[in-house]
Amino acid sequence: MPTKVIALTGNQAAAEAMRQINFDVAAVYPISPQTELMGFFAEYVANGEVDTDMVAVEGEHSAMAACIGAAAAGARVITASAGPGIAYMVENLYIASGMRLPIVLIDVNRALSAPLSIHCDHADSMLTRDSSWISIFSENAQEAYHNLIMSVKIAEKAMFPVIVNYDGYIVSHSIENVEIFDDETVREFVGPSGIHRIPYPLLDVSKPVTYGATAQPDYYTECKYQQHVDFLKVYDIFREVAQEFESISGKYYDFIEEYMTDDAEYIGISMGSSFGTLKDAVNALRAQGRKVGALKIRLYRPFPVKEVARALSNAKGVAVFDRADSFDGIGGPLFKDVTSAVFHNQNRPLIHNFIYGLGGREIHEEEFMKAFDRVERLEKGVESRDHLVEYLQVRA
Amino acid sequence: MYELKKWFEIPIGSIVAEAGSSMINNTGSWRMLRPVLNTEKCTNCLICWIFCPDDSIPVNREQRFETDFTYCKGCGICAVECPYDALEMVPEMEIKLKELE
């Protein structure tokens, strides 16, 4: 397929994908580091390069409400937010997924207040982890661009909304080489918009329906069970779309990405932009003859339980790196997911949790290497631990 | 009575695909206060009919008939809006007790 390589920031790459998808409605409210993304896209709207109706609303709660209305009508909808904006949206996120509307939300990951920070961590996205939105994490601008194009199709096949995450500033404002498709390839891949894409579009006046009705105790459980069953079908749908995407990009995106895990005794796990640094740490340790590997979670919700269990089946020790704390005495969200996934493995590894990169703190390979050392010493019984979770990078 | 749908029979997104489905909801069962009509005061101005949010006031040839208590929730809007003070909100319990006597 015809592609070109250009230098783009993560926000520019995402805006380019949005231009090429040429969707129907974008209801948005600005918040750093998402503001720039929608600024780029607003230019495309103002220049008439897309057919999108851009709705400027008074807050993120309303942004998602307008997206829900537009999606229920039958429009193809993409919006974006970050940090506190995602927090303000949460009530309506549950409504969007309960109504089974294929909305795409870009979360340019940002920390939550207080203290106020506009910089990256994953606390905002973790607010959405039980909302039955499909959640995909992107390592770099290229993945953000690819994930965004795939997510439109995943959402419409699964009839569930999708969150595409990429790290604020680290990915959103850093320039990288990004391989861009020509417009036609993208438009052919996502297919035409139109009310036929969803089962009950409100604009189909020949088939009037009610969205958002109440369900009394005699119905609510059945409604949620249907949502539960259908959400588990997302695994197959994700792979189906990933295979179709491979035919245009040559790149296959699985739920997870493994790096030198085959013979690894100690494996580190992370999501988002830090995975490149984690691979550097693995390379440095491998050069010392240490058997280590790295695992990236790309599909965060639904969580790739089987794949993670298999990838860790021969590991002795696992370091889970969380870019958000849960403050619950157990550990970060990813730590709990990974621990649950391997609980029924025959060989259960020692798992330790490290909180890193909060509020945009840079992470370096030396810090990841120290974490590998710590896990190895814990596993060998040389060191002990009071808690399952500890912080990296704290000044003491 | 109507039959409860099984989980796989519910339309995706828990939408309601049939028109007039609220008819099966006996919202009158929630009522704590009943609007009791004084027919001597009522002038058939139909202000209550305009304001009733549950369409529970039957009207025929510009005449107001007794409230439909299958659906009237007892919200009291009719009693507040009535310019002739022809509606009094009486606790259901009082009415039930009087009936028992």
**Low-confidence residues of chain A: pLDDT under 70:** 1
Contact A50, A185 (CB under 8 A): no
B19 lies in some domain: no
The answer to whether B7 contacts A222, with C-beta atoms less than 8 Å apart, is yes
- Helix (H) or strand (E) holding A185, with range, is helix A183-190
Chain B residues in contact with A226 by the CB 8 A cut-off are: 7-8, 10, 12, 14
What is the structure's pLDDT at A370?
97
B59 domain-assigned: yes
Q: What stretch(es) of chain A map to CATH 3.40.50.970?
A: 3-249
**Among A279, A291, A289, A284, CA closest to A321:** A279
Fold of the CATH domain A256-391: Rossmann fold (3.40.50)
Distance, CA of A33 to CA of B49 (rounded, Å): 53
Whether residue B4 is contained in a domain is answered as no
- pLDDT computed for residue B101 by the predictor: 86
Q: How confident is the model at residue B81 (pLDDT cuts 50, 70, 90)?
A: very high
The answer to whether B3 contacts chain A (CB < 8 Å) is: no
Residue B54 located in a structural domain: yes
Q: Which CATH class is domain A3-249?
A: alpha beta
pLDDT of residue B24 exceeding 90, the answer is no
Q: What is the pLDDT of residues B31-41, one digit of tens each?
A: 999 999 999 99
Q: How far lies A164's CA from each of A36, A94, A156, A395, B56, in Å?
A: 16, 16, 15, 33, 48
pLDDT of B1 strictly over 60: no
Q: If we measure between CA atoms, which residue out of A186, A164, A167 comes closest to residue A79?
A: A164
- Give the domain CATH number at B65: 3.30.70.20
Chain-centre distance for alpha carbon A114? 23
> B99 vs chain A: nearest CA distance in angstroms?
31
Q: Tokens for A16, please give them.
A: 């380019």
Chain A residues closer than 8 Å to B12 by CB:
100, 159, 199-200, 226, 230
Q: Is B12 on the interface with A (CB under 8 A)?
A: yes
What residues does CATH 3.40.50.920 cover in chain A? 256-391
Q: A116-168: per-residue pLDDT in tens?
A: 999 999 999 999 999 999 999 999 999 999 999 999 999 999 999 999 999 99
DSSP 8-state assignment for residue B18: S
Distance from CA of A99 to the nearest CA of B (A): 4
Q: Which helix (H) or strand (E) holds A80?
A: strand A78-81
ipTM metric = 0.89
Number of domains in chain B: 1
Domain assignment present for B74: yes
Containing structural domain, residue B60? 27-100
